Amino acid sequence: MQHTATALIELGAVFFGLGILGRLAWRIGLSPIPLYLLGGLAFGQGGLVPLTGIEPFTELASEIGVVLLLLLLGLEYSASELVTGLRRSWTAGLVDAVLNAAPGALVALLLGWGPTAALVLAGVTYISSSGIIAKILADLGRLGNRETPVVLSVLVFEDLAMAVYLPILTALLAGVGIMGGLGTVGISVLVISLVLVLALRYGRYVSAVVDSPDPEVFLLRLLGAALLVAGLAARLQVSAAVGAFLLGIAISGSTAANASRMLTPLRDLFAAVFFVVFGLNTDPSAIPPVLPFALLLVVLTTTTKFLTGWVAAARQGIRRMGRARAGAALIARGEFSIVIAGLAVGSGAVPGQLAALSTTYVLLMAVIGPVAARVVEPVAHRVVNTVAGARS
Protein backbone atom coordinates (compact mmCIF):
# COMPACT_ATOMS: atom_id res chain seq x y z
CA MET A 1 0.00 0.00 0.00
CA GLN A 2 2.80 2.43 0.88
CA HIS A 3 4.56 1.65 -2.42
CA THR A 4 1.34 2.29 -4.35
CA ALA A 5 0.78 5.60 -2.56
CA THR A 6 4.33 6.74 -3.36
CA ALA A 7 3.96 5.73 -7.00
CA LEU A 8 0.65 7.63 -7.31
CA ILE A 9 2.17 10.76 -5.76
CA GLU A 10 5.19 10.63 -8.10
CA LEU A 11 3.03 9.92 -11.13
CA GLY A 12 0.69 12.75 -10.23
CA ALA A 13 3.65 15.09 -9.87
CA VAL A 14 4.97 13.99 -13.28
CA PHE A 15 1.66 14.62 -15.05
CA PHE A 16 1.14 17.96 -13.30
CA GLY A 17 4.71 18.97 -14.17
CA LEU A 18 4.10 17.99 -17.80
CA GLY A 19 1.08 20.28 -17.80
CA ILE A 20 3.19 23.18 -16.56
CA LEU A 21 5.93 22.49 -19.13
CA GLY A 22 3.37 22.18 -21.91
CA ARG A 23 1.81 25.49 -20.92
CA LEU A 24 5.24 27.14 -20.84
CA ALA A 25 6.06 25.76 -24.28
CA TRP A 26 2.76 27.07 -25.62
CA ARG A 27 3.43 30.52 -24.17
CA ILE A 28 6.86 30.81 -25.80
CA GLY A 29 5.71 29.28 -29.10
CA LEU A 30 7.89 26.16 -28.91
CA SER A 31 7.16 22.47 -29.21
CA PRO A 32 7.04 20.98 -25.67
CA ILE A 33 9.27 18.02 -26.61
CA PRO A 34 12.61 19.60 -25.54
CA LEU A 35 11.13 20.64 -22.19
CA TYR A 36 9.72 17.14 -21.60
CA LEU A 37 13.15 15.64 -22.31
CA LEU A 38 14.97 18.04 -20.01
CA GLY A 39 12.37 17.49 -17.31
CA GLY A 40 12.97 13.75 -17.48
CA LEU A 41 16.73 14.32 -17.35
CA ALA A 42 16.35 16.37 -14.16
CA PHE A 43 14.34 13.69 -12.35
CA GLY A 44 15.97 10.51 -13.67
CA GLN A 45 18.96 8.52 -12.48
CA GLY A 46 21.65 10.93 -11.40
CA GLY A 47 19.28 13.90 -11.69
CA LEU A 48 18.21 16.45 -9.11
CA VAL A 49 15.41 14.39 -7.52
CA PRO A 50 15.37 10.80 -8.86
CA LEU A 51 11.90 9.24 -9.08
CA THR A 52 11.44 5.57 -8.23
CA GLY A 53 8.50 3.20 -8.29
CA ILE A 54 6.77 4.39 -11.47
CA GLU A 55 8.92 2.53 -14.02
CA PRO A 56 6.42 -0.28 -14.81
CA PHE A 57 3.76 2.22 -15.83
CA THR A 58 5.98 4.77 -17.55
CA GLU A 59 7.87 2.21 -19.65
CA LEU A 60 4.64 0.71 -21.02
CA ALA A 61 3.02 4.13 -21.39
CA SER A 62 5.99 5.37 -23.41
CA GLU A 63 5.64 2.43 -25.80
CA ILE A 64 1.94 3.18 -26.19
CA GLY A 65 2.87 6.79 -26.90
CA VAL A 66 5.03 5.80 -29.87
CA VAL A 67 2.27 3.50 -31.17
CA LEU A 68 -0.33 6.29 -30.99
CA LEU A 69 1.97 8.84 -32.58
CA LEU A 70 2.55 6.62 -35.60
CA LEU A 71 -1.07 5.45 -35.78
CA LEU A 72 -2.34 9.02 -36.04
CA LEU A 73 0.34 9.90 -38.56
CA GLY A 74 -0.81 6.95 -40.69
CA LEU A 75 -4.42 8.12 -40.44
CA GLU A 76 -3.45 11.30 -42.31
CA TYR A 77 -2.60 9.41 -45.52
CA SER A 78 -4.08 6.73 -47.74
CA ALA A 79 -2.25 3.58 -48.87
CA SER A 80 -2.11 4.81 -52.46
CA GLU A 81 -0.49 8.07 -51.32
CA LEU A 82 2.09 6.05 -49.39
CA VAL A 83 3.00 3.82 -52.35
CA THR A 84 3.20 6.82 -54.66
CA GLY A 85 5.42 8.64 -52.19
CA LEU A 86 7.76 5.67 -51.85
CA ARG A 87 8.10 5.39 -55.62
CA ARG A 88 8.96 9.05 -55.88
CA SER A 89 11.30 9.17 -52.88
CA TRP A 90 13.29 5.93 -53.00
CA THR A 91 16.34 7.75 -54.36
CA ALA A 92 16.12 10.26 -51.51
CA GLY A 93 15.88 7.31 -49.12
CA LEU A 94 19.12 5.87 -50.44
CA VAL A 95 20.85 9.26 -50.24
CA ASP A 96 19.54 9.56 -46.68
CA ALA A 97 21.04 6.18 -45.73
CA VAL A 98 24.48 6.98 -47.14
CA LEU A 99 24.75 10.54 -45.82
CA ASN A 100 23.51 9.88 -42.31
CA ALA A 101 24.87 6.40 -41.55
CA ALA A 102 28.42 7.25 -42.63
CA PRO A 103 29.23 9.77 -39.81
CA GLY A 104 28.29 7.30 -37.07
CA ALA A 105 30.29 4.49 -38.62
CA LEU A 106 33.34 6.70 -39.11
CA VAL A 107 33.31 7.99 -35.51
CA ALA A 108 33.05 4.44 -34.14
CA LEU A 109 36.01 3.34 -36.26
CA LEU A 110 37.95 6.48 -35.25
CA LEU A 111 37.44 5.53 -31.61
CA GLY A 112 38.72 2.02 -32.33
CA TRP A 113 35.46 0.27 -31.41
CA GLY A 114 35.48 -2.12 -34.38
CA PRO A 115 33.12 -2.90 -37.30
CA THR A 116 30.19 -4.16 -35.20
CA ALA A 117 30.11 -0.95 -33.16
CA ALA A 118 30.44 0.98 -36.42
CA LEU A 119 27.31 -0.74 -37.75
CA VAL A 120 25.48 0.06 -34.50
CA LEU A 121 26.42 3.74 -34.43
CA ALA A 122 25.62 4.02 -38.15
CA GLY A 123 22.06 2.96 -37.33
CA VAL A 124 21.87 5.41 -34.42
CA THR A 125 22.80 8.39 -36.60
CA TYR A 126 20.83 7.24 -39.66
CA ILE A 127 17.30 6.79 -38.35
CA SER A 128 15.18 9.86 -37.63
CA SER A 129 12.64 9.80 -34.82
CA SER A 130 9.23 9.10 -36.36
CA GLY A 131 7.64 9.73 -32.97
CA ILE A 132 9.22 13.14 -32.39
CA ILE A 133 8.72 14.24 -36.00
CA ALA A 134 5.06 13.21 -35.95
CA LYS A 135 4.56 15.32 -32.82
CA ILE A 136 6.46 18.25 -34.36
CA LEU A 137 4.33 18.24 -37.51
CA ALA A 138 1.14 18.10 -35.44
CA ASP A 139 2.24 20.82 -32.98
CA LEU A 140 3.27 23.20 -35.77
CA GLY A 141 0.16 22.53 -37.88
CA ARG A 142 2.13 21.25 -40.87
CA LEU A 143 0.36 17.94 -41.52
CA GLY A 144 -1.36 19.46 -44.56
CA ASN A 145 1.76 21.11 -46.04
CA ARG A 146 3.03 20.07 -49.45
CA GLU A 147 6.39 18.94 -48.09
CA THR A 148 4.88 16.71 -45.39
CA PRO A 149 4.25 13.70 -47.73
CA VAL A 150 7.93 13.94 -48.70
CA VAL A 151 9.00 13.85 -45.04
CA LEU A 152 6.61 10.96 -44.49
CA SER A 153 8.04 9.02 -47.43
CA VAL A 154 11.59 9.36 -46.09
CA LEU A 155 10.46 8.26 -42.63
CA VAL A 156 8.63 5.23 -44.01
CA PHE A 157 11.69 4.30 -46.08
CA GLU A 158 13.79 4.48 -42.90
CA ASP A 159 11.32 2.41 -40.88
CA LEU A 160 11.14 -0.23 -43.59
CA ALA A 161 14.96 -0.24 -43.74
CA MET A 162 14.95 -0.95 -40.00
CA ALA A 163 12.91 -4.09 -40.69
CA VAL A 164 15.98 -5.39 -42.55
CA TYR A 165 18.68 -3.75 -40.43
CA LEU A 166 17.56 -4.85 -36.96
CA PRO A 167 17.44 -8.64 -37.63
CA ILE A 168 20.90 -8.54 -39.23
CA LEU A 169 22.29 -6.45 -36.37
CA THR A 170 20.78 -8.80 -33.79
CA ALA A 171 22.36 -11.78 -35.52
CA LEU A 172 25.79 -10.09 -35.60
CA LEU A 173 25.56 -9.11 -31.93
CA ALA A 174 24.71 -12.71 -31.05
CA GLY A 175 27.70 -13.96 -33.05
CA VAL A 176 25.51 -15.86 -35.52
CA GLY A 177 26.60 -13.95 -38.59
CA ILE A 178 24.71 -12.27 -41.40
CA MET A 179 23.18 -15.49 -42.78
CA GLY A 180 21.57 -16.19 -39.42
CA GLY A 181 19.42 -13.08 -39.73
CA LEU A 182 18.15 -13.65 -43.25
CA GLY A 183 15.19 -15.77 -42.13
CA THR A 184 13.97 -13.01 -39.82
CA VAL A 185 14.48 -10.45 -42.57
CA GLY A 186 12.32 -12.55 -44.90
CA ILE A 187 9.51 -12.63 -42.33
CA SER A 188 9.72 -8.86 -41.86
CA VAL A 189 9.50 -8.13 -45.58
CA LEU A 190 6.61 -10.58 -45.99
CA VAL A 191 4.60 -9.02 -43.15
CA ILE A 192 5.11 -5.49 -44.47
CA SER A 193 4.11 -6.53 -47.99
CA LEU A 194 0.96 -8.29 -46.79
CA VAL A 195 -0.17 -5.31 -44.73
CA LEU A 196 0.37 -2.92 -47.65
CA VAL A 197 -1.68 -5.15 -49.96
CA LEU A 198 -4.40 -5.35 -47.31
CA ALA A 199 -4.44 -1.57 -46.97
CA LEU A 200 -4.56 -0.98 -50.72
CA ARG A 201 -7.25 -3.51 -51.60
CA TYR A 202 -9.28 -4.05 -48.45
CA GLY A 203 -8.88 -0.85 -46.46
CA ARG A 204 -12.65 -0.28 -46.34
CA TYR A 205 -13.10 -3.60 -44.54
CA VAL A 206 -10.47 -2.65 -41.96
CA SER A 207 -12.35 0.59 -41.37
CA ALA A 208 -15.61 -1.33 -40.95
CA VAL A 209 -14.07 -3.65 -38.34
CA VAL A 210 -13.03 -0.80 -36.02
CA ASP A 211 -15.90 1.58 -36.75
CA SER A 212 -18.89 1.95 -34.44
CA PRO A 213 -21.57 4.61 -33.85
CA ASP A 214 -20.92 4.34 -30.12
CA PRO A 215 -17.85 6.44 -29.15
CA GLU A 216 -16.85 4.14 -26.31
CA VAL A 217 -16.98 0.99 -28.44
CA PHE A 218 -15.18 2.77 -31.29
CA LEU A 219 -12.35 3.92 -29.01
CA LEU A 220 -11.95 0.44 -27.49
CA ARG A 221 -11.89 -1.25 -30.90
CA LEU A 222 -9.46 1.26 -32.37
CA LEU A 223 -7.04 1.28 -29.45
CA GLY A 224 -7.24 -2.50 -29.13
CA ALA A 225 -6.54 -3.00 -32.85
CA ALA A 226 -3.59 -0.60 -32.71
CA LEU A 227 -1.97 -2.36 -29.76
CA LEU A 228 -2.64 -5.82 -31.23
CA VAL A 229 -1.10 -4.94 -34.59
CA ALA A 230 1.86 -3.18 -32.96
CA GLY A 231 2.51 -6.13 -30.65
CA LEU A 232 2.24 -8.71 -33.43
CA ALA A 233 4.55 -6.62 -35.61
CA ALA A 234 7.14 -6.44 -32.82
CA ARG A 235 6.83 -10.19 -32.20
CA LEU A 236 7.54 -10.83 -35.90
CA GLN A 237 10.66 -8.61 -35.71
CA VAL A 238 8.93 -5.75 -37.51
CA SER A 239 8.88 -2.44 -35.67
CA ALA A 240 5.77 -1.83 -33.57
CA ALA A 241 5.83 1.72 -34.93
CA VAL A 242 5.70 0.40 -38.52
CA GLY A 243 2.77 -1.85 -37.60
CA ALA A 244 0.81 1.03 -36.05
CA PHE A 245 1.57 3.29 -39.01
CA LEU A 246 0.40 0.69 -41.54
CA LEU A 247 -2.83 0.15 -39.59
CA GLY A 248 -3.39 3.90 -39.73
CA ILE A 249 -3.13 4.05 -43.50
CA ALA A 250 -5.47 1.04 -43.80
CA ILE A 251 -8.24 3.03 -42.05
CA SER A 252 -9.84 5.55 -44.38
CA GLY A 253 -12.73 7.93 -44.90
CA SER A 254 -14.92 9.18 -42.06
CA THR A 255 -13.57 6.42 -39.81
CA ALA A 256 -10.07 7.90 -40.09
CA ALA A 257 -11.37 11.40 -39.34
CA ASN A 258 -13.25 10.22 -36.24
CA ALA A 259 -10.24 8.19 -35.10
CA SER A 260 -7.94 11.21 -35.33
CA ARG A 261 -10.37 13.35 -33.35
CA MET A 262 -10.83 10.80 -30.55
CA LEU A 263 -7.22 9.66 -30.23
CA THR A 264 -5.49 13.05 -30.30
CA PRO A 265 -5.79 13.71 -26.52
CA LEU A 266 -4.59 10.17 -25.73
CA ARG A 267 -1.69 10.57 -28.15
CA ASP A 268 -0.59 13.80 -26.53
CA LEU A 269 -0.73 12.26 -23.04
CA PHE A 270 1.20 9.08 -23.80
CA ALA A 271 3.65 10.83 -26.14
CA ALA A 272 4.56 13.21 -23.32
CA VAL A 273 5.30 10.20 -21.10
CA PHE A 274 7.50 8.73 -23.83
CA PHE A 275 9.70 11.81 -23.99
CA VAL A 276 9.93 12.07 -20.21
CA VAL A 277 10.96 8.40 -19.92
CA PHE A 278 13.68 9.03 -22.46
CA GLY A 279 15.08 11.75 -20.22
CA LEU A 280 14.60 9.68 -17.05
CA ASN A 281 16.83 6.93 -18.47
CA THR A 282 19.71 9.30 -19.17
CA ASP A 283 22.37 9.73 -16.46
CA PRO A 284 23.74 13.30 -16.63
CA SER A 285 27.14 12.21 -15.23
CA ALA A 286 27.79 10.05 -18.31
CA ILE A 287 27.50 12.97 -20.70
CA PRO A 288 30.74 15.03 -20.26
CA PRO A 289 33.27 12.33 -21.35
CA VAL A 290 31.56 11.69 -24.68
CA LEU A 291 30.27 15.20 -25.29
CA PRO A 292 32.96 16.22 -27.88
CA PHE A 293 32.21 13.23 -30.12
CA ALA A 294 28.48 13.69 -29.65
CA LEU A 295 28.78 17.33 -30.70
CA LEU A 296 30.78 16.31 -33.77
CA LEU A 297 28.04 13.88 -34.78
CA VAL A 298 25.39 16.52 -34.10
CA VAL A 299 27.03 19.01 -36.47
CA LEU A 300 27.61 16.43 -39.21
CA THR A 301 24.25 14.72 -39.13
CA THR A 302 22.20 17.87 -38.67
CA THR A 303 23.73 19.04 -41.93
CA THR A 304 23.26 15.74 -43.74
CA LYS A 305 19.64 15.31 -42.59
CA PHE A 306 18.81 18.83 -43.67
CA LEU A 307 20.32 18.11 -47.07
CA THR A 308 18.30 14.90 -47.29
CA GLY A 309 15.01 16.73 -46.75
CA TRP A 310 16.01 19.58 -49.07
CA VAL A 311 16.94 17.22 -51.93
CA ALA A 312 13.86 15.03 -51.44
CA ALA A 313 11.53 18.04 -51.50
CA ALA A 314 13.33 19.60 -54.45
CA ARG A 315 12.78 16.42 -56.49
CA GLN A 316 9.03 16.86 -55.95
CA GLY A 317 9.09 20.43 -57.24
CA ILE A 318 8.57 22.03 -53.83
CA ARG A 319 9.81 25.59 -53.37
CA ARG A 320 12.71 26.61 -51.18
CA MET A 321 10.72 27.36 -48.04
CA GLY A 322 9.09 23.92 -48.19
CA ARG A 323 12.50 22.32 -48.80
CA ALA A 324 13.87 24.05 -45.71
CA ARG A 325 10.92 22.88 -43.60
CA ALA A 326 11.36 19.32 -44.86
CA GLY A 327 15.08 19.35 -44.02
CA ALA A 328 14.55 20.74 -40.53
CA ALA A 329 11.72 18.30 -39.78
CA LEU A 330 13.97 15.28 -40.36
CA ILE A 331 16.73 16.31 -37.94
CA ALA A 332 15.38 14.79 -34.71
CA ARG A 333 16.59 11.36 -33.53
CA GLY A 334 14.89 9.40 -30.78
CA GLU A 335 13.24 6.07 -30.05
CA PHE A 336 14.78 3.90 -32.79
CA SER A 337 18.28 5.13 -32.05
CA ILE A 338 17.93 4.23 -28.38
CA VAL A 339 16.56 0.78 -29.28
CA ILE A 340 19.59 0.13 -31.48
CA ALA A 341 22.08 1.26 -28.82
CA GLY A 342 20.26 -0.74 -26.14
CA LEU A 343 20.42 -3.95 -28.17
CA ALA A 344 24.13 -3.48 -28.75
CA VAL A 345 25.14 -2.60 -25.20
CA GLY A 346 22.95 -5.33 -23.71
CA SER A 347 24.69 -7.95 -25.82
CA GLY A 348 28.13 -7.00 -24.48
CA ALA A 349 29.51 -7.04 -28.02
CA VAL A 350 30.36 -3.32 -28.08
CA PRO A 351 32.17 -0.98 -25.67
CA GLY A 352 30.08 0.45 -22.84
CA GLN A 353 30.95 4.00 -23.89
CA LEU A 354 28.75 3.54 -26.92
CA ALA A 355 25.65 3.79 -24.70
CA ALA A 356 26.72 7.13 -23.25
CA LEU A 357 27.64 8.49 -26.68
CA SER A 358 24.34 7.35 -28.21
CA THR A 359 22.30 8.74 -25.35
CA THR A 360 24.06 12.09 -25.41
CA TYR A 361 23.74 12.33 -29.19
CA VAL A 362 20.05 11.45 -29.23
CA LEU A 363 19.25 13.80 -26.35
CA LEU A 364 20.90 16.68 -28.19
CA MET A 365 19.22 15.83 -31.48
CA ALA A 366 15.84 15.37 -29.80
CA VAL A 367 16.16 18.93 -28.48
CA ILE A 368 17.72 20.46 -31.60
CA GLY A 369 15.21 18.83 -33.99
CA PRO A 370 12.04 20.48 -32.64
CA VAL A 371 13.83 23.81 -32.19
CA ALA A 372 15.15 23.71 -35.77
CA ALA A 373 11.70 22.84 -37.13
CA ARG A 374 10.27 25.82 -35.26
CA VAL A 375 12.85 28.45 -36.26
CA VAL A 376 13.53 27.34 -39.85
CA GLU A 377 10.79 29.54 -41.34
CA PRO A 378 11.82 32.88 -39.79
CA VAL A 379 15.48 32.13 -40.48
CA ALA A 380 14.76 31.20 -44.10
CA HIS A 381 12.65 34.36 -44.54
CA ARG A 382 15.54 36.50 -43.28
CA VAL A 383 17.97 34.80 -45.65
CA VAL A 384 15.65 35.27 -48.63
CA ASN A 385 15.05 38.95 -47.77
CA THR A 386 18.80 39.53 -47.31
CA VAL A 387 19.59 37.94 -50.68
CA ALA A 388 16.81 39.91 -52.39
CA GLY A 389 18.05 43.14 -50.83
CA ALA A 390 21.63 42.45 -51.94
CA ARG A 391 20.49 41.81 -55.55
CA SER A 392 18.47 45.01 -55.64
The list of the chain residues with pLDDT below 70 reads 1-3, 29-31, 44-53, 77-86, 88-89, 163, 167, 174-189, 191-192, 195-196, 199-200, 236-239, 380-381, 383-392
CATH number reported for the structural domain that contains residue 69 in this entry = 1.20.1530.20
Query: Is residue 325 a contact partner of residue 373, using CB atoms and an 8 Å limit?
Result: yes
Q: How many domains does the chain have?
A: 1
Q: For residues 380 and 197, what is the distance between their CA atoms, to the nearest angstrom?
A: 40
Please check whether residue 369 lies inside any domain of the structure: yes
- The end-to-end CA distance of the chain, in Å, is 74
Please check whether residue 116 lies inside any domain of the structure: yes
Query: Would you state the pLDDT for residue 104?
Result: 95
Query: Would you state the pLDDT for residue 326?
Result: 93
Question: In this predicted model, what pLDDT tens digit does every residue of 290-347 receive, in sequence order?
Answer: 899 999 999 999 999 999 999 989 988 898 899 999 999 999 987 778 778 877 777 7
Please check whether residue 125 lies inside any domain of the structure: yes
Please check whether residue 267 lies inside any domain of the structure: yes
Query: Would you state the pLDDT for residue 276?
Result: 80
What lies within 8 Å, CB to CB, of 246 at 6+ separation is: 74, 192, 195, 196, 199, 229, 233
Quote the radius of gyration of the chain (alpha carbons, Å): 21
Please check whether residue 385 lies inside any domain of the structure: no
Please check whether residue 193 lies inside any domain of the structure: yes
Residue type, 256: A
User: Is the Cα dihedral 30, 34, 36, 39 positive or negative?
Assistant: negative
Which range marks the domain in which residue 319 is found? 2-51+62-378
Please check whether residue 391 lies inside any domain of the structure: no
Please check whether residue 261 lies inside any domain of the structure: yes
